[in-house]
Structure 1
Amino acid sequence: MQFTINHRTHYLYTDVVNYTIQKLRLTPQDGFGQRVKRWEIRVNGHLQRHDDAYGNAEHLLVLDTPHEEINILATGEVETGLDTPPAHDLLPREIYLRTTALTATDATLRNFAEQFRYDRFTGQILDEMMHAIVDKVPYYRGVTNVNTPAAEAFRSGHGVCQDHAHIFIACCRYLGIPARYVSGYLFTDDGSLMESHAWADACLPSGWISFDVSNRCRTNGVHVRLATGLDYSDACPVSGMRVGGGLETMTVGVHVSQLQSQQ
């Protein structure tokens, strides 16, 4: 499948911002079944690209003159469903067993994960765990936020894609399975998803397998990968800091549309 993607982020401030620095993880890369045909980021500032520790293409955005708004537009075309392997792992897989503040377990979450402990883990076992997570924590907006830890979201009984990914990752790591957070895009026929999406990778003997927990499926040709990391904070599309600005209003719009294949 071929998609055109437009991801717009707009920041508006009630006062003048004197200085802004942001990390933009808004550039997909080839591999994991996808190929980037074209991609660009337009901003009202200076960009410098580098690869981060997880192999993500990351841009540093700097605005060093007074400003009251920031506009970021990432746009391009990506082809999916290809027979392209994952990019070479830059880090030992043991790194993805590390616990973070967002993926720590408590007694309740550990008891839940224990029912999926086996001598040999398979994709089917993790499929079962994925379904069980959404049964326990149905998709529901407004209860959690991007800084909600997995154990807290699990106790609340409500969450969104970031929570589902964090809970899945926390359980995997507790069971000794390396796992990582993935940010990206999801194409829906009705255009209902107008924001970025999140899912998880788990490392089994056969390699990395991707689980879209919120949608109870493994990733397929409708997913476009942007960045990976230990949790949301490593892979979120935009993060940073500013000096001044007063109150901030951020609006995000994502549009993913399918292109017809050229014969």
Structure 2
Amino acid sequence: MKLMINHQTHYQYSDWAKNSIQYIKMTPQSNRHQQVTGWQISIPGEKQYKKDAFNNIWLTSSQIESYQQMLIMAQGIVEINTTDQFGLQDSLSPAVFLQPTNATQCNDEMIAFAAYYLPQKSWANFQKLAAAILQHMPYMTASTTVTHTAIESFSAQQGVCQDHSHVLIAMAKAVGVPARYVSGYLYVNNQSHLASHAWTEVFLAGQWHVIDVSNQLFCPHAHVYVAIGRDYWDVAPVRGVRERGGVETMYSIVQVLAC
């Protein structure tokens, strides 16, 4: 399936900003699951591409000129393999994804929750756990922020795809199963769905398996991979620093269309 993706991120500042550096992870790569053609990122300033420790493409943009608005636009075409049954198989060591992070810690309640649904660490039981997480914390738009940890989101009993991913990763690691955070795009017929997305992969029986808790999807038939990490902070689409600028406001527009 061939998809056309357009992702716009708009920033507005209450004062003039300058001397900014933006770190952008919004570039998908070609692999066994997907082929990328014509991908471009438009942003002011001097740009440099490199790769991070997880082999994600990392664009750094530096700007010294003053500005009160900034537009970052990523767009291109990605053709995905809709027959894939497993997650993205790569050369990264699964052991890396057992490392603790602040966003993916478990408390006693979460450990007990995971133990109930995972008497054995099987693929079927992980799917049951994913269903239970969604029932416990239904998808609720704008119910959390990017700073929420797995413990905070689980306690709030609501969240978005980022929260579902953090909670599942935390529980998987608590029982000794490597789990990682994936950022990317999801193609759905309902265009009211936010197409910029996050999901999880768990490592079982020598394979990475997809668990999209928010949508209860367990194969990447409609998913475009952009970046992989231990949690959101490893794959954040845009992070940066600036001088001045006052109060920042931001909104995004994402379109994923079949073509």
Q: TM-score, normalised by structure 1?
A: 0.93
> What residue in structure 1 maps to residue 107 of structure 2?
106
> What residue in structure 2 maps to residue 116 of structure 1?
117
Aligned: 1:10 with 2:10: yes
Structural mapping, 1:31-180, within 5 Å: 31-81=31-81, 86=88, 88-90=90-92, 92-119=93-120, 121-180=121-180
> What residue in structure 1 maps to residue 224 of structure 2?
224
Code of the aligned partner of 1:206: G
Do the aligned residues in 2 keep the contact of 1:20 with 1:240 (CA within 8 Å)? yes
SS in 2 for 1:181: strand
Do the aligned residues in 2 keep the contact of 1:33 with 1:83 (CA within 8 Å)? no
Structure 1 portions without partners, runs of 5+:
none
Partners in 1 of 2:116 and 2:234 — Cα distance? 29
Structural mapping, 1:245-260, within 5 Å: 245-259=245-259
Alpha-carbon offset, residue 32 of structure 1? 5.0
SS in 2 for 1:177: coil
SS in 2 for 1:110: helix
Partners in 2 of 1:45 and 1:83 — Cα distance? 40
CA RMSD of superposed structures (Å): 1.6
| 1:26-50 deviations in Å (ceiling 9; x for gaps) | 0001225111122111111221000
Structure 2 portions without partners, runs of 5+:
none
Structural mapping, 1:15-30, within 5 Å: 15-30=15-30
Partners in 2 of 1:145 and 1:40 — Cα distance? 28
Do the aligned residues in 2 keep the contact of 1:195 with 1:252 (CA within 8 Å)? no
SS in 2 for 1:102: helix
Do the aligned residues in 2 keep the contact of 1:195 with 1:253 (CA within 8 Å)? no
SS in 1 for 2:143: coil
SS in 1 for 2:48: strand
Q: TM-score, normalised by structure 2?
A: 0.94
Partners in 1 of 2:54 and 2:74 — Cα distance? 21
Partners in 2 of 1:139 and 1:86 — Cα distance? 25
> What residue in structure 2 maps to residue 204 of structure 1?
204
| 1:230-251 deviations in Å (ceiling 9; x for gaps) | 1001111111111100011111
Do the aligned residues in 1 keep the contact of 2:44 with 2:61 (CA within 8 Å)? no
| 1:168-225 deviations in Å (ceiling 9; x for gaps) | 0000000100011111111111212245111001111231111111001113321111
Partners in 2 of 1:57 and 1:28 — Cα distance? 8
SS in 2 for 1:213: coil
SS in 2 for 1:133: helix
Do the aligned residues in 2 keep the contact of 1:185 with 1:225 (CA within 8 Å)? yes
Do the aligned residues in 2 keep the contact of 1:109 with 1:171 (CA within 8 Å)? yes
Partners in 2 of 1:226 and 1:125 — Cα distance? 27
Do the aligned residues in 1 keep the contact of 2:2 with 2:79 (CA within 8 Å)? yes
Code of the aligned partner of 2:242: R
In the superposition, relative to structure 1, how do residues 255 and 163 fare at CA in structure 2: closer, same or farther (>3 Å)?
Answer: same
Partners in 2 of 1:164 and 1:32 — Cα distance? 26
